[in-house]
A and B are shown apart, each in its own frame.
Chain A
Amino acid sequence: MPAAKKHTPPTNATKQNTDSVPIMSLKNVSRYFGNVIALKDMSFEVHRGRVTCLLGDNGAGKSTLIKILSGVHQPSEGEMYIENKKTVFNSPRDSLDYGIATVYQDLALVPLMSIVRNFFMGREITRGFFPFYYIDFKKCSEIAQTEMQRVGINIRSPDQAVGTLSGGERQCLAIARALYFGTRVLIFDEPTAALGVKQSAIVLDFIKQARDKNIGVIFITHNSFHAHEVGDLFTILNRGQSIGNYTRSEITRAKLFDLMAGKVTKK
Chain B
Amino acid sequence: MKNNSNSSTTQKDKTRPKDERVREISTFTKVLTRPEMASVGGGVIIFLIFGLTVGDSGMFSALGIINFLEPSAQLGIIAIAASLLMIGGQFDLSIGSMIGFASVCVAIMVGEFQMPIWSVVIITFAIAALVGYVNGILVVTTRLPSFIVTLAMLFILRGAALVVMRGITGRTQAYIEREVIEASFWGNLFGGRIGVDLFNKLAEQGIIDARASDGLALAQGIPISIVWCLVLVVLSTLILNRTKLGNWIFASGGDERAANNIGVPVKKVKIGLFIFTAISATLFGLLQVFSSASADTLRGELKEFEAIISAVIGGTLLTGGYGSTIGAVLGAVIFGVIRQGIYYTGIDADWFRVFLGVMVLLAVIFNNIIRSRATGSK
Contacts and interface: CB of A to CB of B under 8 A. Distances in A.
B374 A121 contact: no
Name, among B3, B22, B376, the residue most crowded by chain A CB atoms within 10 Å (CB to CB).
B3
Nearest to A146: B14
B258 A108 contact: yes
Given A154-B5, A163-B377, A135 B242 contact: yes
Interface residues of B, number: 39
Interface stretch (B75-83, B93-101, B125-133, B243-251): B243-251
A198 B4 CA distance: 9
Contact of A169 (B3, B16, B322, B371): B3
A70 B259 contact: no
Given A93-B263, A112-B375, A197 B1 contact: yes
A71 to B, nearest CB: 9
Nearest to B87: A112
Nearest to B250: A113
Contacts of B243: 126, 133-135
Contact of B258 (A109, A124, A145, A150): A109
Contact of A112 (B3, B14, B250, B261): B250
Contact of A92 (B11, B244, B260): B260
A196 B2 CA distance: 7
Interface residues of A, number: 53
Given A121-B259, A161-B374, A164-B375, A172 B251 contact: no
Contact of A163 (B6, B238, B376): B376
Contacts of A243: none
Contacts of A117: 247, 250-251
Contact of B262 (A92, A133, A149, A168): A92
29 contacts: A92-B263, A93-B263, A106-B257, A109-B255, A109-B258, A110-B255, A110-B258, A112-B250, A112-B254, A113-B247, A113-B250, A117-B247, A121-B263, A122-B251, A122-B262, A122-B264, A126-B244, A134-B238, A135-B243, A135-B244, A135-B247, A146-B14, A154-B9, A156-B22, A163-B374, A163-B376, A166-B2, A169-B2, A196-B2
Given A91-B260, A92-B262, A110-B255, 7 more contacts: A107-B258, A108-B261, A108-B262, A111-B375, A126-B243, A133-B243, A163-B376
Interface of B: 1-3, 5-6, 9, 11, 13-14, 16, 19, 21-22, 238, 242-244, 247-248, 250-251, 254-255, 257-265, 321-322, 371, 374-377
